[in-house]
Protein backbone atom coordinates (compact mmCIF):
# COMPACT_ATOMS: atom_id res chain seq x y z
CA UNK A 1 0.00 0.00 0.00
CA UNK A 2 1.54 3.29 -1.12
CA UNK A 3 1.38 6.24 1.23
CA UNK A 4 0.80 9.43 -0.77
CA UNK A 5 1.31 11.70 2.22
CA UNK A 6 3.12 14.91 1.18
CA UNK A 7 6.48 15.47 2.86
CA UNK A 8 6.60 17.65 6.00
CA UNK A 9 9.65 19.84 5.32
CA UNK A 10 8.74 20.86 1.74
CA UNK A 11 5.21 21.58 2.98
CA UNK A 12 6.57 23.92 5.64
CA UNK A 13 9.08 25.68 3.39
CA UNK A 14 6.54 26.21 0.61
CA UNK A 15 4.06 27.43 3.25
CA UNK A 16 1.28 24.94 2.57
CA UNK A 17 -1.68 24.05 4.80
CA UNK A 18 -0.59 21.78 7.69
CA UNK A 19 -3.70 19.61 7.37
CA UNK A 20 -3.53 18.70 3.67
CA UNK A 21 -0.15 20.22 2.64
CA UNK A 22 -1.68 21.30 -0.66
CA UNK A 23 -3.46 24.63 -0.10
CA UNK A 24 -1.55 27.91 0.19
CA UNK A 25 -1.47 29.60 3.60
CA UNK A 26 -0.97 33.12 2.27
CA UNK A 27 -2.92 35.22 -0.20
CA UNK A 28 0.27 36.43 -1.93
CA UNK A 29 3.01 33.90 -2.66
CA UNK A 30 5.61 36.68 -2.39
CA UNK A 31 6.37 38.81 0.66
CA UNK A 32 5.93 41.90 -1.50
CA UNK A 33 4.17 44.25 -1.03
CA UNK A 34 5.28 44.24 2.60
CA UNK A 35 2.01 45.79 3.71
CA UNK A 36 0.13 42.63 2.64
CA UNK A 37 2.72 39.96 3.43
CA UNK A 38 0.84 38.44 6.39
CA UNK A 39 -2.61 38.30 4.77
CA UNK A 40 -4.04 34.82 5.04
CA UNK A 41 -7.32 33.37 3.82
CA UNK A 42 -9.76 32.39 6.55
CA UNK A 43 -9.47 28.71 5.63
CA UNK A 44 -7.64 26.39 3.25
CA UNK A 45 -9.11 26.31 -0.25
CA UNK A 46 -8.41 22.56 -0.54
CA UNK A 47 -9.48 21.00 2.78
CA UNK A 48 -11.24 23.80 4.67
CA UNK A 49 -8.81 23.92 7.61
CA UNK A 50 -9.19 27.14 9.60
CA UNK A 51 -5.91 29.06 9.75
CA UNK A 52 -6.72 31.12 12.84
CA UNK A 53 -7.63 28.47 15.39
CA UNK A 54 -8.77 31.00 17.99
CA UNK A 55 -8.83 34.76 18.43
CA UNK A 56 -5.30 36.06 18.95
CA UNK A 57 -3.77 32.70 17.94
CA UNK A 58 -0.79 34.23 16.16
CA UNK A 59 0.51 36.26 19.12
CA UNK A 60 2.69 33.27 19.98
CA UNK A 61 4.49 33.53 16.65
CA UNK A 62 6.55 36.38 18.06
CA UNK A 63 8.50 33.83 20.10
CA UNK A 64 9.00 31.57 17.09
CA UNK A 65 10.13 34.54 14.98
CA UNK A 66 12.56 35.60 17.70
CA UNK A 67 14.02 32.08 17.91
CA UNK A 68 14.43 31.91 14.12
CA UNK A 69 16.11 35.33 14.03
CA UNK A 70 18.55 34.49 16.84
CA UNK A 71 19.32 31.12 15.26
CA UNK A 72 20.00 32.71 11.87
CA UNK A 73 22.13 35.39 13.52
CA UNK A 74 24.35 32.82 15.24
CA UNK A 75 24.50 30.62 12.15
CA UNK A 76 25.67 33.52 10.00
CA UNK A 77 28.18 34.48 12.71
CA UNK A 78 29.56 30.91 12.78
CA UNK A 79 29.77 30.67 8.99
CA UNK A 80 31.57 34.00 8.83
CA UNK A 81 34.03 32.75 11.45
CA UNK A 82 34.67 29.47 9.61
CA UNK A 83 35.05 30.87 6.09
CA UNK A 84 36.52 34.34 6.66
CA UNK A 85 37.83 34.28 10.21
CA UNK A 86 37.50 36.58 13.17
CA UNK A 87 40.12 38.52 15.00
CA UNK A 88 40.15 41.24 17.61
CA UNK A 89 43.26 42.78 16.00
CA UNK A 90 41.40 44.06 12.96
CA UNK A 91 37.84 45.10 12.19
CA UNK A 92 36.63 41.63 11.16
CA UNK A 93 34.43 41.36 14.27
CA UNK A 94 32.54 44.51 13.27
CA UNK A 95 32.20 43.32 9.67
CA UNK A 96 30.79 40.03 10.94
CA UNK A 97 28.29 41.76 13.23
CA UNK A 98 27.23 44.09 10.42
CA UNK A 99 26.84 41.28 7.89
CA UNK A 100 24.87 39.10 10.34
CA UNK A 101 22.57 41.97 11.29
CA UNK A 102 21.98 42.90 7.65
CA UNK A 103 21.15 39.28 6.77
CA UNK A 104 18.62 38.97 9.60
CA UNK A 105 16.99 42.30 8.70
CA UNK A 106 16.75 41.43 5.01
CA UNK A 107 15.21 38.01 5.73
CA UNK A 108 12.85 39.26 8.47
CA UNK A 109 9.67 39.34 6.31
CA UNK A 110 10.25 35.74 5.24
CA UNK A 111 11.04 34.73 8.84
CA UNK A 112 7.78 36.29 10.05
CA UNK A 113 5.81 34.26 7.52
CA UNK A 114 7.72 31.09 8.32
CA UNK A 115 7.12 31.58 12.05
CA UNK A 116 3.35 31.58 11.44
CA UNK A 117 3.66 28.42 9.38
CA UNK A 118 5.77 26.65 12.02
CA UNK A 119 3.42 27.76 14.81
CA UNK A 120 0.38 26.41 12.97
CA UNK A 121 2.22 23.16 12.15
CA UNK A 122 2.81 22.69 15.90
CA UNK A 123 -0.93 22.64 16.59
CA UNK A 124 -2.45 21.04 13.47
CA UNK A 125 -1.31 17.53 12.55
CA UNK A 126 -1.53 16.14 9.02
CA UNK A 127 -5.02 14.81 8.27
CA UNK A 128 -6.30 15.47 11.80
CA UNK A 129 -7.17 19.15 11.58
CA UNK A 130 -10.50 20.92 11.70
CA UNK A 131 -12.17 19.99 8.45
CA UNK A 132 -14.98 22.32 7.49
CA UNK A 133 -16.81 20.21 4.91
CA UNK A 134 -20.22 21.58 5.76
CA UNK A 135 -20.69 25.05 7.10
CA UNK A 136 -24.02 26.29 8.41
- Among 118, 128, 115, which residue's Cα sits nearest to residue 19? 128
Query: If pLDDT is split at 50, 70 and 90, which confidence band does 1 have?
Result: very low
| Mean per-residue pLDDT of the chain | 88
How does pLDDT run across 92-109, given as a tens digit for each residue? 889 999 999 999 999 999
The CA distance from 5 to 10, in Å, is 12
CA 107, CA 129: separation in Å to the nearest integer? 30
pLDDT band at 136 (very low <50, low <70, confident <90, very high): very low
Note the pLDDT tens digit of each residue in 25-83: 999 988 889 899 999 999 999 988 999 888 888 898 999 999 999 999 999 999 999 99
Amino acid sequence: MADNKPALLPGMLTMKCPNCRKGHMYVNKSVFPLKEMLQMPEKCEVCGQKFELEVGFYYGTGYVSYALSVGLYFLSFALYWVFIGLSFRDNSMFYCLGASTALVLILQPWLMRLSRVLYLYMFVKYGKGTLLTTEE
